């Protein structure tokens, strides 16, 4: 069953490495699971799961392997509750007998409890040794011992209940979450480099130079590391993009945070970029695309967000922008403007919030110009890898 659990985790796409599994075995040997299924659930999840995105897969695997095993445990617990709930009446003790009971330290008490629990095989009542009821043993209920520990009700949700709740189902990689998750994904776009005048101490170089100088101190300074990444974000708004406005807003919030990139700009368009983009979603303040390209480095990272869904004429025919009353010359087809943008930027991606199963028609055409990824955490991570590594 234990080995089956390992392979079930792998089957559920939970990336459990061999060293992780060996670490779990060592933790079990040390008793960190408290010899309980609940303890094993939390211990295994802590050791084997490195990302919240895999919590759902872990719970599903745990249910598959261990579902039903708790029934025997529950039955045993009920028997013990029934036993402890109806203890044998405590026999009276004389003051002399009470005086003979020795005090135990907490450490001795825990050690003895574990030893007795391992040795005891059946219910016990009365007496002064076993875990039971109505006696003078240090362990049990309904008895008497001045330094004893009560063995009675405890509680909390079981491991099976926690796994069955599947509370982490929303942490899958194919679901868009919050700004924080998007922010973490975008961090990989950073391009750290040392520019400017030397302003900070290069500790390793200073130590190396000083050692070569036989201990004569030589301080080495270097320019500080700065993020040199430049990002241009073009966002489709209105019409079929209205249902996804909250998702695009989260992306914009994460990308525009102060200090995230050396340079960040965001512009709006509707359906397709023609000869102009807009600085706000009401399309009042426009910037010609020619000026946008002339003021953009070719190595600037371009991210386009939109569902790429429109009437084919809007994309393929000259004057296609007139379909929704755009104030453009209409002499160049939208596909030509998009091709011009794609050829200018060496690194560009398209994030599409629509279901991949509906990617057809104009979506496929634009997907041939720009590498297209879904607007999910997984899709953003893939797009970032494309922008940074070209893979």
Q: How sure is the predictor about 77, in pLDDT bands with cuts at 50, 70 and 90?
A: low
pTM of the predicted model over 0.85:
no
Which pLDDT score is estimated for 345?
Answer: 94
Q: Please, are residues 349 and 386 in contact by the beta-carbon 8 Å criterion?
A: yes
Total count of residues recorded for the chain: 391
The string of pLDDT tens digits covering residues 141-150 is 544 444 444 4
DSSP state of 169: G
Residue-range domain boundaries for the chain: 2-67, 72-150, 179-191+228-389, 198-226
Q: Any idea which of 74-83, 95-104, 112-121, 208-217 has the lowest mean pLDDT?
A: 95-104
Burial of 282 (0-12, 13-18, 19+ CB in 10 A): exposed
64 Cβ contact list (under 8 Å, min separation 6): 8
pLDDT tens across 106-126, in order? Answer: 556 566 666 766 666 565 555
Which pLDDT score, from 0 to 100, does residue 371 have? Answer: 95
Distance CA 306, CA 362 (A): 12
Share of residues in the chain with pLDDT > 70 (%): 63
Of 33-47, 338-352, 366-380, which gets the smallest average pLDDT? 33-47
Three-state DSSP class for residue 383: helix
**Sorting pLDDT into bands at 50, 70 and 90, what band is 284?**
confident
For the chain, give the longest Cα–Cα distance: 110
Q: Cβ distance 267 to 278 under 8 Å? A: yes
Give me the mean pLDDT over the 173-184 stretch: 60
Average pLDDT over residues 223-227: 66
Quote the pLDDT of residue 172. Answer: 44
Please indicate whether residue 143 or residue 82 has the higher confidence score (pLDDT): 82
179-186 and 245-255 are packed helices; what angle lies between their axes, rounded to 10 degrees? 50
pLDDT at 223 over 90: no
pLDDT confidence bin for 338, thresholds 50/70/90: very high
Note the pLDDT of residue 303.
Answer: 94
The angle formed by the CA atoms of residues 158, 160 and 164, to the nearest 5 degrees, is 120
Least confident piece of the model among 36-45, 108-117, 295-304: 108-117
pLDDT tens per residue, range 241-278? 888 888 888 888 888 875 678 888 999 998 899 888 99
pLDDT over 90 at 233, yes or no: yes
Res. 291 pLDDT band, cuts 50 70 90: very high
Mean pLDDT of 194-203: 67
pLDDT above 90 for 21: no
Is CATH 1.10.287 the right assignment for the domain spanning 179-191+228-389?
no
| Ranges 115-119, 157-161, 201-205, 330-334: which has the least confidence | 157-161
* Residue pair 287/278 in contact by the 8 Å Cβ criterion: yes
Considering only residues 215 and 184, tell me which one the structure prediction assigns the higher pLDDT.
215
Q: Give the span between the Cα atoms of 358 and 370, in whole angstroms.
A: 17
**How far apart are the C-alpha atoms of 20 and 344, rounded to whole Å?**
46
Using the predicted structure, report yes or no on whether residue 45 has a pLDDT greater than 60. Answer: yes
Q: Which residues, 6 or more positions from 338, have their beta carbon under 8 angstroms from its beta carbon?
A: 272, 273, 315, 366, 369, 370
Residue 125, pLDDT score: 58
Average pLDDT of the residues in 38-62: 84
CA dihedral 5, 11, 12, 17 (to 10 degrees): 70
């Amino acid at each position: 069953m234990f080995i089956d659990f390992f392979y079930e985790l792998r089957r559920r796409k939970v990336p459990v490495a061999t060293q992780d599994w060996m670490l779990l075995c060592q933790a079990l040997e040390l008793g960190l699971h408290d010899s309980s299924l609940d303890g094993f659930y939390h211990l295994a999840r802590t050791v084997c799961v490195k990302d919240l995105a895999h919590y759902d897969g872990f719970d599903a695997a745990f249910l598959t392997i261990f579902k039903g095993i708790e029934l025997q445990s529950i039955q045993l617990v009920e028997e013990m509750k029934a036993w402890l709930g109806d203890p044998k009446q405590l026999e009276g003790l004389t003051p002399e007998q009470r005086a003979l009971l020795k005090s135990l330290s907490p450490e001795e008490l825990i050690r003895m409890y574990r030893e007795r629990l391992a040795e005891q095989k059946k219910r016990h009542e009365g007496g002064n040794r076993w875990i039971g009821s109505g006696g003078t043993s240090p362990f049990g209920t309904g008895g008497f011992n001045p330094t004893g520990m009560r063995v009675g009700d405890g509680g909390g949700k079981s491991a099976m209940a926690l796994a069955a709740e599947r509370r982490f189902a929303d942490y899958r990689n194919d679901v868009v979450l919050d700004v924080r998750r998007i922010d973490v994904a975008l961090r990989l776009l950073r391009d750290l480099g040392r520019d400017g005048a030397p302003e900070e101490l290069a500790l390793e170089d200073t130590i190396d130079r000083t050692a070569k100088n036989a201990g004569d101190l030589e301080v080495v300074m270097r320019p500080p590391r700065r993020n040199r990444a430049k990002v241009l974000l073009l966002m489709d708004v209105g019409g079929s993009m209205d249902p996804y406005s909250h998702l695009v807003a989260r992306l914009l919030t994460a990308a525009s945070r102060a200090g995230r990139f050396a340079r960040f700009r965001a512009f709006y368009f509707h359906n397709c970029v023609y000869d102009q983009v807009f600085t706000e979603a009401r399309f009042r303040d426009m910037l010609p695309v020619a000026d946008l390209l002339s003021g953009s480095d070719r190595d600037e990272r371009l991210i386009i967000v939109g569902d790429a869904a429109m009437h084919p004429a809007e994309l393929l025919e000259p004057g296609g922008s007139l379909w929704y009353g755009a104030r453009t010359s209409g002499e160049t087809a939208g596909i030509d403007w998009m091709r011009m943008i794609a050829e200018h930027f060496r690194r560009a991606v398209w994030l599409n919030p629509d279901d991949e199963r509906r990617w057809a028609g104009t979506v496929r055409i634009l997907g041939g110009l720009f590498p297209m990824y879904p607007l999910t955490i997984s899709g953003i991570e893939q797009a970032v890898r494309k922008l940074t590594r070209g893979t």
